[in-house]
Amino acid sequence: MSEPEPIDWVRWIRALGRQSRCVREFLGLSQEQLARLAGVSQGAVSRLEAGRAMYTPVLVVVKIYLALAHELRKIDPAILRDDVRRVLELGGPRGTRAHAPAVEVDPDVADLVQLYRGLPETKRRALVSVVRAAAKALSPATSTARAARAAQRS
């Protein structure tokens, strides 16, 4: 039986930091907001995201993870990747990755979420209305109905 491959902890913590930043940005949170939610300092969030958290207490990393997971659970699961949904269902990460995969299923969804979160709350409803109207106009059912009406007129 062969020995398991040793973990490259520096690489692992950098990947964890990249993933944490990716999730935080997807959620539309600043480092300060995440720090408040997690009950840690903004500097701790910054160090983790920059991959300089080798000597950060595990409790701080866990607090940040739990705050991110709590906020992710507020997102419609349909826009999250399957692996992210599984992690949330299981309550924690299983295994490690050296890269920071996207959180969302489709990058365009992430763009929409960022646009939505970047607007003042008073303007968000207008964006949703515009997106709904555009989706309705572009949907195959609408196009088919429009084509049928045009054929009836001719």
Alpha-carbon gap, residue 126 to 104, rounded angstroms: 23
Alpha-carbon gap, residue 14 to 99, rounded angstroms: 9
- Give the model's pLDDT for residue 49: 92
- Give the model's pLDDT for residue 92: 46
- List the chain pLDDT tens, one digit each, 154 residues: 578 788 888 888 888 888 889 889 888 899 999 999 999 999 999 999 998 877 888 888 889 988 998 888 888 777 777 777 776 765 544 443 333 445 555 667 767 777 777 778 888 788 878 878 888 888 777 656 666 666 676 6
What pTM was estimated for this model as a whole?
0.57
Q: How far is CA 13 from CA 25, 31, 43, 74, 124, in A?
A: 18, 18, 16, 26, 36
- Give the model's pLDDT for residue 35: 95
- Give the model's pLDDT for residue 94: 41
Closest CA to 56 of 102, 94, 14, 111: 14
Query: Would you tell me the crossing angle of helices 140-153 and 121-138 to the nearest 10 degrees?
Result: 50
Q: Classify residue 83 by burial, with Cβ atoms within 10 Å: 0-12, 13-18, 19+.
A: middle
- Give the model's pLDDT for residue 149: 67
